[in-house]
Amino acid sequence: MPKGQLTVIVAAGQSRNPEKRELEQTIAQLAGAVDGVQVVCVAHLYDLAKDGETYQMLRHIDGDMVLISWMFPRAAHWILDRNGVRGQVGLVELQQVFDEDDEEPPEQVQELEEDRVTSLQPRPQRTIYTLDFRASEQAQDFVAEIERIAHLQSQGTVSSTVARPLTLEMLTRFENPTNDTYVGSGAAPDSDSLSDGGLPAISTLFGTSSVATIQEHPARRWYPVIDFSRCTNCMECIDFCLFGVYGIDSQETILVEQADNCRKGCPACSRVCPQNAIMFPQHKTPAIAGAPVDAGGLKIDLSKLFGAPDEGEDAAAAAIRERDEQLVLAGRQAVGDDTGLSERIGRSPSSGQSPDQLDDLIDQLDALDL
């Protein structure tokens, strides 16, 4: 299998925890020694701008890739997708194990009556595998999973897409960047290899190593990420959000159009999505951050367990309250249930559920074996 056929993206976390940095660096070094693997170390993917150097480069990688980040895999996959790095979800064996106290239900794959966006707009056939750094404290566990994926790829069993290895010609645009982005090999370059601008010459990018680094220094961001494998384009989010975050593309498909209009810390639109297709990867609540949850219509009820801050408050009421709080902070008027959200989902923010609805909910939760 030729070098460069599988690309491993090691995405740094937001914190400066030295143990996390050591784990990232160790995995990058060990993975770079695997035959047929090239490694690119980048900053936290969620914070990076779509038109920045990192995503410009990642969009030039045609073949299969493995992404390792400090986010739930579902969120990480769709962050790449929103920035134009698209592919099929690859099955991984190294996964985070939840304790019973975490109250996380198992993944429930159910057929939806509505068409998903991905069924109308298929993604490329290349495969993207996403791993969570929190799945193990041992770097070798990640390397073993990378070796397993590389072996499957060498057998031609995972993707029909032929990878295009990263080349110096492909990356010449980064030799003289317009900001403070640093692009270089995993090892620090010596003074002789630096260009006039203090950046390493492009010829030193990989050298004899299979590890490269792109350093951007983005500020922390907060915005929703859409899981298009669940999204049915119902437009509940664009109707509900009053900050201009959402829009539609030329095919009338929902998208996060003005990400930085989102109010930091507000997850309200995630609570109203009928299919749990909206994630906030940095939210403290796992179900909102992208952890595996049911996709077949239990989202509104499950969010009571994982997100509603006030006892007895249902998802609709929590979402309306959170949005109104942000409107007031922005100097605008609170609007309450202006779009009839509670009526559409058959709930009232003040009346709660009927006994029959509660019985149904209990039966559904029992079936999930929480």
pTM confidence score = 0.72
Q: How many helices (H) and strands (E) does the chain have?
A: 12, 11
- Every domain of the chain and the residues it spans: 6-215, 225-368
Main-chain phi, psi angles of 348, to 5 degrees: -120, 130
Higher pLDDT, 215 or 10: 10
- Going by pLDDT thresholds of 50, 70 and 90, the confidence category of residue 34 is very high
The mean pLDDT value for 42-62 works out to 92
d(CA 64, CA 363): 41
Strand partners, 88: 127
Q: Are strands 65-69 and 6-11 parallel, antiparallel or unpaired?
A: parallel
Buried b (16+ CB within 10 A) or exposed e, 93-124: ebebeeeeeeebbeeeeeeeeeebbbeeeeee
Alpha-carbon distances, residue 7 vs 48, 76, 138 (angstroms): 19, 16, 21
- Checking if the pLDDT of 93 tops 90, the result is yes
Higher pLDDT, 119 or 87: 87
Angle between helices 315-329 and 299-306 (to 10 degrees): 70
Instruction: Give me the pLDDT at residue 1, please.
Output: 38
The mean pLDDT value for 280-293 works out to 89
Higher pLDDT, 355 or 263: 263
Instruction: Give me the pLDDT at residue 100, please.
Output: 45
Main-chain phi, psi angles of 185, to 5 degrees: -75, 170
pLDDT digits 0-9 by tens, 243-258: 999 999 988 999 999 9
- The DSSP letter of residue 261 is G
d(CA 335, CA 323): 9
Of 234-248, 259-273, 328-342, which gets the smallest average pLDDT? 328-342
- Is-contact 216 54, C-beta < 8 A? yes
- Checking if the pLDDT of 80 tops 50, the result is yes
d(CA 352, CA 314): 7
pLDDT digits 0-9 by tens, 142-183: 999 999 999 988 877 654 344 444 444 444 433 333 333 334
Instruction: Give me the pLDDT at residue 244, please.
Output: 92
Q: What count of other Cβ atoms lies within 10 Å of the Cβ of residue 172?
A: 11
pLDDT digits 0-9 by tens, 313-347: 677 788 888 888 888 888 887 778 766 666 665 54
